[in-house]
């Protein structure tokens, strides 16, 4: 798999066909809308759906005596156990997804040509293993609180939908290693912010031991973000350098 972007048969732009470009503009000027008005009707239709009371999901009730007791204790402290467990469930789901993203990325690495300034296979395996450890940390944390780690919480559902495009990029055989790393960068940026919020929620609920474990996970994620950001930047600059050199030579000859 090549990691460079080359010039090919891309015909998506109109500039390649000036005649058709002009004809398209003429047709646009002659086209009469099928109805009067603007986007107001569409906005009103959307508003009707937005006002529907249906939600993306709900939090499951405590399935154990321990879970009910933990929720009652959090309420006594003035903290919302529902919010904390919702976000904890989201991190569990996202870390599981992160593990799978890196598994796909490792496969793409094995089939790819060397990426200048990019990761080694050992780098990717190391991050994959830490993502798996973070998943296990979240699973154990939910069990310790009497919650069901197999439940899909509302925030976990939202994050799963939002991250669908990341899986599509990394698993698409047409997307090279550098492009896949750009998708991973989006995941790492999100993960860092979400771990920070989870730590604050854990502290507010008085779960100081869990907060300390989450802080270690955040430190790992900050390291992941730094590495991926560096790989993407280095690979992009390395790819652009030969192009810039060729352009300078062409200008010099002209």
Residues 6+ positions from 116 with CB-CB distance below 8 Å: 234, 235, 238, 239
Mean pLDDT of the 183-192 span: 97
Average pLDDT, the chain: 87
Q: What is the mean pLDDT of residues 102-124?
A: 95
**CA nearest to 83, candidates 190, 207, 217:** 207
Concatenating the DSSP letter of every residue in 97-147 gives HHHHHHHHHHHHHHTS---TT---HHHHHHHHHHHHHHHHHHHHHHHHTT-
pLDDT digits (tens, 9 = 90+) for 207-250: 999 999 999 999 999 999 999 999 999 999 998 876 545 445 55
**CB neighbourhood size of 199 (10 A):** 19
* Domain boundaries along the sequence of the chain: 80-253
Distance between CA 68 and CA 73 in Å, rounded?
9
Closest CA to 228 of 158, 166, 178: 178
| Rounded Cα–Cα distance for residues 164 and 21 (Å) | 35
Joined together, the tokens standing for residue 228 give 């991926």
Q: Would you state the pLDDT for residue 212?
A: 97
Closest CA to 167 of 158, 175, 178: 175
The answer to whether the CB of 81 falls within 8 A of the CB of 205 is yes
Rounded to two decimals, what is the model's pTM?
0.81
- Give the lowest-confidence range in 7-16, 116-125, 170-179: 7-16
Q: What is the model's pLDDT at position 243? A: 52
pLDDT in tens, 53-88: 678 888 887 766 565 556 545 554 545 778 999 999
Q: Do residues 92 and 135 lie in contact, with contact meaning Cβ atoms separated by under 8 Å? A: yes
Contacts of 82 (CB under 8 A, 6+ apart): 59, 71
pLDDT reported for residue 103: 97
80-253: CATH homologous superfamily?
A: Ferritin, core subunit, four-helix bundle (1.20.1260.10)
């Amino acid at each position: 798999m090549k990691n460079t972007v080359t010039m090919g048969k891309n015909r998506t732009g109109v500039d390649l066909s000036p005649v058709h470009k002009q004809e398209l503009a003429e047709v646009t000027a002659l086209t009469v809308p099928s109805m009067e008005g603007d986007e107001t009707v569409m906005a009103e239709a959307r508003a009707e759906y937005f006002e529907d009371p249906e939600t993306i999901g709900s939090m499951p009730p405590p399935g154990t005596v321990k879970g009910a007791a933990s929720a009652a204790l959090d309420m006594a402290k003035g903290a919302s156990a529902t919010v904390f467990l919702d976000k904890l469930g989201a991190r569990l789901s996202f870390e599981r997804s992160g593990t799978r993203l890196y598994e796909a990325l490792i496969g793409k690495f094995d089939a790819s040509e060397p990426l200048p300034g990019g990761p080694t296979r050992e780098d990717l395996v190391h991050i994959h293993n830490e993502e798996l450890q973070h998943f296990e940390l979240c699973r154990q944390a939910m069990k310790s609180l009497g919650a069901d780690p197999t439940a899909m919480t509302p925030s976990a559902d939202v994050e799963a939908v939002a991250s669908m495009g990341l899986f599509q990029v990394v698993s698409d055989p047409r997307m090279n290693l550098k492009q896949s790393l750009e998708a991973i960068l989006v995941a790492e940026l999100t993960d860092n912010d979400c771990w920070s919020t989870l730590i604050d929620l854990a502290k507010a609920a008085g779960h100081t031991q869990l907060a300390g474990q989450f802080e270690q996970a955040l430190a790992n994620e900050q390291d992941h973000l730094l590495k991926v950001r560096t790989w993407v930047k280095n690979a992009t600059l390395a790819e652009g350098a030969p192009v810039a050199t060729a352009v300078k030579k062409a200008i010099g000859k002209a």
